[in-house]
Structure 1
Amino acid sequence: MEVVIAPGPQLARLAADAVGALLSRRPDAVLGLATGSSPLALYDELARRHAEEGLSFARARGFLLDEYVGLPADHPERYRAVIDRELVSRVDLDPDAVQGPDGTAEDLPAACRRYEEAIAAAGGVDLQVLGIGTDGHVAFNEPGSSLASRTRVKTLTEQTRQDNARFFDGDAEAVPQHVLTQGLGTILAARHLVLLATGRAKAEAVHHLVEGAVSALWPATVLQMHPHVTVLVDEAAASRLQLADYYRDAWRHKPAWQGL
């Protein structure tokens, strides 16, 4: 696990560098796309590079991490609508090449199985963008989730519903109770994980993610078991890290040819 501590705008540029380098060597790469607040600056930077520098997503494919259950297809906070608004509509990524779990399906377990099969059929995810919740969840794998889980139905904690109320005019009751989410095992199957976290509210979760014991109580800690994880955090999110000085030193002396 590589930890990079830097100002927020630099984090977005570093994550965009990783995406750009991947698309340069593999234009048909499969991207794992997260929603929420954490990746928004990254999507802004990717859109800028597409408009100003010619970064192309024309042959790429994308898979969403998760989706709310029961929101109508035209709801603005449905995650497929969010990713279309924040990224797909701003670059040359074919909308038909982006898939998400079907939160409107009548048979939700079957929809989850189909989603796993679609990811496998695409050859797996090359680079997965991630955020982290204040309670250590990634995607919607809430505390107590199986560390080997695959795409499935999950019930959101009240903490997560409160955290997400800002997207529903501050009304936590408007946040759906259930979601479809890639499991921790599904996420671990991606070849490169890039996690972004900013702000002091994420500091405890980041501390457990990087330096804590692997535990279902803090689901993100399972990422310690992955061979290629990049954790991009600002000073506030890094404020609980005991080895912060080492991470800064390692980044400062990292060979340029390694990339992220």
Structure 2
Amino acid sequence: MLNIIKVKGEQLFNETGAGIIASLLQSNPRAVLGLATGSTPVGVYQKLIELYRDGVVSFKQASSYNLDEYIGLAEDHPESYRRFMNEKLFNHIDIPLESTHVPAGNTGDPTQAATDYTRLLEKAGQLDLQLLGLGHNGHIGFNEPGEELQGPTHIVELDERTRQANARFFPSIEEVPTHAITMGIGSILQAKQILLMAKGEDKAEIVARALKGPITTKCPASFLQTHPNVVVVLDQAAGGLI
């Protein structure tokens, strides 16, 4: 079931997303959160930091599991997702760092790291909420379009469009990693609630395909249509075609 919320302006977009997460933590302080990186959630994380500083919400008893990580980047690399999460959220709230989890991308055995992360997720139990952005090609996490999709955490070769979209964060396209480790579609769909967020006119077409088009591996986000509890937060531009 899709609950689609359209909002006007970036401030309301961020406040709406942060409010959903904060409400969960208020009702369940031990919530298990699935978190995402990228430009979309940055404002949401800033708002959550504000809510924490205002005493509205605490993360002290919560735990988090991130969707993905580049392969080959050290944790302290400027563009690693571990560093992103530390700088954009974790360092500014009261969540213990040992309660935060990001796939191990800088390892000699990425396949084993993927297996280990799958087991970690199984041990954690069902995620209470999974936050998602949406790639221009319909990817969620780093689950790229293809002939088939994998359920558990796995290694993926990044689509060239994905690498081009992320090249703005690196000195050159050559330095953008070619592979990543990501939660699979199966892991994502096991969450009790999914919060999908998208903004900008450039996302309007893929939002429509994901939410109203056929369910297909060519658009991984379309599988969200099969989940019983998905909240979709869009700005007016991203929701322009639905």
Partner Cα separation in structure 1 for residue 155 and residue 134 of structure 2: 19
**TM-score between both structures, scaled by the size of structure 1:** 0.89
Provide the residue aligned with 2:122 in structure 1.
Answer: 120
Provide the residue aligned with 1:26 in structure 2.
Answer: 28
Task: Tell me whether 1:73 sits opposite 2:90 in the alignment.
Answer: no
Partner Cα separation in structure 2 for residue 227 and residue 146 of structure 1: 22
Partner Cα separation in structure 2 for residue 145 and residue 97 of structure 1: 35
Partner Cα separation in structure 1 for residue 108 and residue 16 of structure 2: 40
Partner Cα separation in structure 2 for residue 87 and residue 154 of structure 1: 26
Q: Which deviates the most, 132-141 or 16-25? A: 16-25
Which amino acid counterpart does residue 2 of structure 1 have in structure 2? N
Q: Partner of 1:44: helix, strand, or coil?
A: helix
Contact 1:194–1:229 (CA under 8 A) maintained in structure 2: yes
Contact 1:149–1:186 (CA under 8 A) maintained in structure 2: yes
Residue 124 of structure 1: how far off its partner (Å)? 2.2
Residue 14 of structure 1: how far off its partner (Å)? 1.6
Partner Cα separation in structure 1 for residue 167 and residue 31 of structure 2: 33
CA-atom RMSD, angstroms? 1.2
Q: What is the aligned counterpart of 1:59 among 40, 52, 61?
A: 61
Q: How does 1:129-148 map to 2 (within 5 A)?
A: 129-144=131-146, 146-148=148-150
Residue 147 of structure 1: how far off its partner (Å)? 4.2
Provide the residue aligned with 2:109 in structure 1.
Answer: 107
- Cα deviation digits, residues 61-100 of structure 1 (max 9, x gap): 0001000000122201100100010000111111110011
Provide the residue aligned with 1:196 in structure 2.
Answer: 197
Which amino acid counterpart does residue 201 of structure 2 have in structure 1? R
Which amino acid counterpart does residue 4 of structure 1 have in structure 2? I
Q: Partner of 1:53: helix, strand, or coil?
A: coil
Partner Cα separation in structure 1 for residue 211 and residue 95 of structure 2: 33
Contact 1:126–1:191 (CA under 8 A) maintained in structure 2: yes
Partner Cα separation in structure 2 for residue 122 and residue 82 of structure 1: 22
Partner Cα separation in structure 2 for residue 76 and residue 55 of structure 1: 29
Provide the residue aligned with 1:97 in structure 2.
Answer: 99
Which amino acid counterpart does residue 173 of structure 1 have in structure 2? E
Moved over 3 A (4+): 145-148
Contact 1:145–1:219 (CA under 8 A) maintained in structure 2: no
Residue 2 of structure 1: how far off its partner (Å)? 0.9
Gaps of 5+ in 2: none
Which amino acid counterpart does residue 201 of structure 1 have in structure 2? D
Identity of aligned residues (%): 39
- Cα deviation digits, residues 29-66 of structure 1 (max 9, x gap): 11111000010110010000001134100010000100
Partner Cα separation in structure 1 for residue 56 and residue 212 of structure 2: 39
Gaps of 5+ in 1: 242-260
- Cα deviation digits, residues 114-133 of structure 1 (max 9, x gap): 11111111122111110001
Contact 1:147–1:222 (CA under 8 A) maintained in structure 2: no
Residue 164 of structure 1: how far off its partner (Å)? 0.4
Contact 1:141–1:184 (CA under 8 A) maintained in structure 2: yes
Task: Tell me whether 1:229 sits opposite 2:230 in the alignment.
Answer: yes
Count of paired positions: 240
**TM-score between both structures, scaled by the size of structure 2:** 0.96
Contact 1:68–1:78 (CA under 8 A) maintained in structure 2: yes
Q: What is the aligned counterpart of 1:36 among 24, 27, 38?
A: 38
Partner Cα separation in structure 1 for residue 147 and residue 68 of structure 2: 15
Task: Tell me whether 1:4 sits opposite 2:5 in the alignment.
Answer: yes
